Amino acid sequence: MKQAVVILVLAVIGAATVDIIGDKTQTRPDVVRPGSTSEVVFSLRTKMSRDRQMTAEGLWGACQGTVDSRVLDPGVVRLDESTFRLTLAPELGHHARTRLTGCIEDATLDRVVADVVRITNSG
């Protein structure tokens, strides 16, 4: 009887641990708020003499599949020599922000280093 109780307690602890780890590591769906937007600002650096506008658009093209939001007109906008902005609808939730930031910052394009400067939700 004592052994059965110990096994039951260990099974409950094990199941709870797996659930907690799953919540921390797996992608979960975000709440969609119609009419909302997210402004994503990112910078990029490259050692090649590439057109930076094309590089920024290529980076967005490579990463757009990580989120369910669509880019609004006018698309990827150049703010200065190395900083770009795009607006997405609907806004990015916590998990989408994490996925998009990871894609942009994970050397998705060869010889391009990019950083998310900020993601701002509105609406």
* Mean pLDDT over each residue of the chain, to the nearest integer: 88
Mean pLDDT across 50-62: 92
Residue 32's alpha-carbon distances to 35, 55, 67, 91, 104, in angstroms, are 9, 29, 12, 7, 22
**Whole-angstrom distance, CA of residue 100 vs CA of residue 117:** 12
16: confidence class by pLDDT, cuts 50, 70, 90 = confident
CATH number, domain 1-123: 3.30.70.1130
| Domain range summary for the chain, segments of one domain joined by + | 1-123
* Cβ-based burial of 76 (10 A; exposed 0-12, middle 13-18, buried ≥19): buried
49: confidence class by pLDDT, cuts 50, 70, 90 = confident
